[in-house]
Chains A and B, each alone.
Chain A
């Protein structure tokens, strides 16, 4: 941008002039990025800062604390039942800490995810490699997702009570697995389609069974996709509220249900505790995501598996 050409001879399109305008002023980009980032990051900041605020700073009338004035970890210790103070919600309302729902969340989400992954990859491979079920099966499986779970939850509740799956780990795991199963089938099918047929044939000719070839030769080729699919399904299960709310009581209930119980009643809204629990709920998917990060990048570029 050293010499500007003569004004009359230059015709910019709108796009070109905009980009030149930005290129000429790097700070514009910086400001834009900061603005957009703060817009999305602010709620996260608010939750994290709230989780460290003592009760008087939660929601005082007519005043906003943008940061904790006297930071405390009481919200966390109360939540996890490590300390019993007077303002603890457990002293007044509840008998259980967040530990049990948190543990339940992990058991049910991981269980449901593993079930969906196992059933889903086997189905997806059958469809991709052997055209199992003909052309319609993939759509029939997708139909499972064409109505919201709430549409069937009440009949299902009666059914679950009758077959004694109500308020059990297995009952919820099966439901989580069934609801996320179509996602696994559709995602993994496209990954399997990108694996050349010869990969499994080569393994079989070298002495593998069909199953051996699948697990030893084909599945490792799509581990990126498998990791991405697993994370996606896990997040879906982890954030479920409805099924856990309807299908369980306190004993097998999950953290999102517990989170909702932290408002109302005699104590009002327990903002600090809710924020602390929200922070804890962020951790498992984040850790899972970091752990599989090196597979994720390749897995998320759907269908771009190198042959």
Chain B
């Protein structure tokens, strides 16, 4: 168990700033996800924590102990790679035992055997121990990779997109398994992924990264309900999020926004610090974001309808349907129950609560709260 602290961690590859001044703390025994699109610097960050890459600047602390000078073999980290990195010339047993056999002094045989069997039980490979690795399924390969990293009881567990090659149902199963294993062994885990569903489902806290910089670090709930900027707002959420251009205007003592060019009713955002004084006169626009699951469809003439639109497509996902809507000048999406009486071409009224609306400054892309 260890706390990981990154301070101004930076890595440049020639001119490219892969990681740029990253500050992050992963507490003892917590499950952290590094989330971001490919090329955002998450794997580089992971490699630096493991010691496989040397930082250009900044420092990494394990429990207040700076580790930049330590080689990867001395850091007591477990690393699970995206492509398993299983040793194909060995059996499953030998793969699991590898880390222990590398210890100096080497532990006694019966102790290694006990550990290997215990880990095999934990990851569910007891039946396959004597098999050659080349005969394993992709799913079992990943289990073996997980077990091999686990057996040395690393202080820190690093997983680099470990499930991205697995089929969807097994991935869901492994997500739950990993969460159980993490709970069982209680180690600090850092999990790299570009899949926000994985991150949201497993991690205690998520660090969203883009272009080498930390965008937001928080619990899944914080990221979903209080995104700090437009990038995070867009990246989190299972259905493509709705972004609409709006214009703020004064309304009595408060402030309202209207969706540009749609003749929408005003949405009261008096509780936000909308910079009205500078903006309203010039009519400078902002961006409004509302999650599809917060968008309700009502009758076209209902009082609560803020704008009108028509249904362009219905995407059934089983438990819910995703409704694609066209407004004047914008496309948005809504989530509806499959039994809702909706058809492509229907004219509908679109409603959402002011509290579910997120506003972003178009220039800085920061949230306006």
Contact = CB atoms under 8 A, between A and B. Distances in A.
Interface in A213-241: 216-217, 220-221, 223
B83 interface: yes
A303 to B, nearest CB: 15
A217 B78 contact: no
A201 B89 contact: no
Contact of B102 (A196, A206, A307): A206
B85 A201 contact: yes
Interface string A266-307: 000000000000000000000000000000000000000011
Contacts of B164: none
B46 to A, nearest CB: 11
A41 B87 CA distance: 42
Given A201-B85, A306-B88, A206 B99 contact: yes
B85 A207 contact: no
A206 B88 contact: no
Contacts of A209: 73
Contacts of A202: 79, 81, 85, 87, 145, 148
A199 B103 contact: no
Interface in B128-177: 134, 145, 148-149, 152
B87 A221 contact: yes
A307 B83 contact: yes
A212 B89 contact: no
A198 B148 CA distance: 14
Nearest to A201: B52
A204 B88 contact: no
Interface in B197-253: none
Secondary structure type dominating chain A contacts: helix
B72 A196 contact: no
A221 B81 contact: no
Contact of B98 (A196, A206, A221, A223): A206
Given A221-B89, A223-B89, A306-B134, A205 B78 contact: yes
B89 A205 contact: no
Interface residues of A, number: 20
Contacts of B78: 205
A208 interface: yes
Contact of B72 (A199, A201, A220, A223): A201
Interface string B66-89: 000001110101110111010111
Given A201-B52, A206-B152, A207-B102, A196 B85 contact: yes
B98 A203 contact: yes
B89 A198 contact: no
A130 B102 CA distance: 24
B50 interface: yes
Contacts of A198: 81-83, 85
B102 A199 contact: no
A212 B102 CA distance: 9
B83 A217 contact: no
Contacts of B81: 198, 201-202
B106 to A, nearest CB: 11
A207 B101 CA distance: 9
Contacts of B72: 201, 204-205
Contacts of B88: 221, 306-307
Given A201-B72, A217-B87, A208 B50 contact: no
Contacts of A204: 52, 71-73
B79 A205 contact: yes
Contacts of B89: 220-221, 223
B323 to A, nearest CB: 43
A209 B77 CA distance: 15
Given A221-B87, A221-B88, A306-B134, A207 B73 contact: yes
A208 B102 contact: yes
Identify the interface centre among A199, A220, A306: most chain B CB within 10 Å of its CB.
Answer: A199
Interface in B26-59: 50-52
Given A217-B87, A220-B87, A201 B79 contact: yes
Interface of A: 196, 198-199, 201-209, 212, 216-217, 220-221, 223, 306-307
12 contacts: A201-B79, A201-B85, A202-B145, A202-B148, A205-B51, A206-B149, A207-B103, A212-B102, A216-B102, A221-B87, A223-B89, A307-B88
Given A204-B72, A206-B99, A207-B73, 19 more contacts: A196-B83, A196-B85, A201-B72, A201-B79, A201-B85, A202-B81, A202-B87, A205-B50, A205-B75, A205-B77, A205-B78, A205-B149, A207-B99, A208-B73, A208-B102, A220-B87, A220-B89, A223-B89, A307-B88
